[in-house]
C-alpha cells in the first residue's frame, strides 16, 4: 500500500511540475510558411476580367519592421498575431469563391485559426512601439475591407477575394 501511495504521489508531483512550466508564446514558422503557400496556391491566377478592379494598397512595412536579429521582437510577433486575426475576420465574413480549391481553403482557415489560438498569449504582451504598428495594420485591413465591400458588383461576386489574396500575399512572409 505504501509503495502504491508513493508511486501515485510521484506521478502527481511529476505531472504538477510539467504542467506548471510556462508554455512558449511564439509563432510556428512552419505554419506561417504553410499558410503563405496555401494562400498563394488555393485561388489560382488573378482573373483577367478583374484586372481593371485591381486596387493598389500600400503595405504597412513599419508594422513588421525588425531589428535584423534572428529572434522576432515581441511587438513584431504581436503585429503578426493581429494580422492573423484580421485575415481570419476577412475570410470569415464573406462568401468565398466556389472555384477555389476548397480543401486548400479549409486547410488554410484551420491553420490560421490554430495559429491564433496557439499564439493568443501574444495579445497580452506589452510593447512600447506596438501602437504605431497596430495603427498601420488597422488602416491597411480597414482599406481592404472597404475595397471588398465596395467591389461587390455582379462581375466580382465570386472573384473579389483575389484582391485580398494579392494584398495578403505581401503579409505572410515573402
CA angle 102, 79, 39 (to 5 degrees): 20
- 63-116 confidence digits (pLDDT tens): 777 766 666 677 777 888 888 888 888 887 656 666 778 888 888 888 889 888
Residue 116 to residue 87: CA distance in whole angstroms? 10
Rounded to an integer, the average pLDDT of 110-130 is 82
- Structure confidence at residue 50 (pLDDT): 67
Residue 163 to residue 46: CA distance in whole angstroms? 8
157 contacts: CB under 8 Å, gap ≥ 6: none
Range with the poorest average pLDDT among 50-54, 145-149, 164-168: 164-168
What number of other Cβ atoms are within 10 A of residue 7's Cβ? Answer: 10
CATH class, range 27-169 = mainly alpha
* Residue 15 pLDDT > 50: no
22 contacts: CB under 8 Å, gap ≥ 6: none
**Residue 100 in grid coordinates:** 477555389
Model's pTM, two decimal places? 0.68
- Structure confidence at residue 163 (pLDDT): 55
Cβ pair 70, 4 in contact under 8 A:
no
Domain ranges (residues) in the chain: 27-169
* Residue 125 pLDDT > 70: yes
Per the prediction, the chain carries an average pLDDT of 71
Helices (H), 73-129: 74-93, 102-118
Amino acid at each position: 500500500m505504501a509503495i502504491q501511495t508513493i508511486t501515485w504521489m510521484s506521478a502527481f508531483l511529476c505531472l504538477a511540475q510539467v504542467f506548471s512550466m510556462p508554455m512558449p508564446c511564439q509563432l510556428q514558422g512552419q505554419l506561417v510558411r504553410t499558410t503563405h503557400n496555401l494562400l498563394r496556391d488555393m485561388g489560382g491566377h488573378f482573373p483577367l476580367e478583374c484586372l481593371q478592379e485591381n486596387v493598389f494598397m500600400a503595405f504597412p512595412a513599419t508594422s513588421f519592421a525588425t531589428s535584423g536579429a534572428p529572434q522576432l521582437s515581441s511587438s513584431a510577433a504581436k503585429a503578426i498575431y493581429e494580422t492573423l486575426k484580421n485575415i481570419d475576420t476577412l475570410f470569415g465574413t464573406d462568401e468565398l469563391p466556389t472555384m477555389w480549391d476548397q480543401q486548400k481553403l479549409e486547410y488554410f482557415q484551420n491553420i490560421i485559426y490554430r495559429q491564433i489560438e496557439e499564439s493568443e498569449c501574444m495579445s497580452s504582451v506589452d510593447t512600447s512601439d506596438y501602437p504605431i504598428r497596430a495603427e498601420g495594420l488597422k488602416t491597411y485591413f480597414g482599406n481592404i475591407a472597404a475595397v471588398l465591400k465596395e467591389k461587390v458588383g455582379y462581375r466580382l461576386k465570386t472573384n473579389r477575394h483575389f484582391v485580398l489574396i494579392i494584398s495578403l500575399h505581401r503579409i505572410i512572409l515573402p
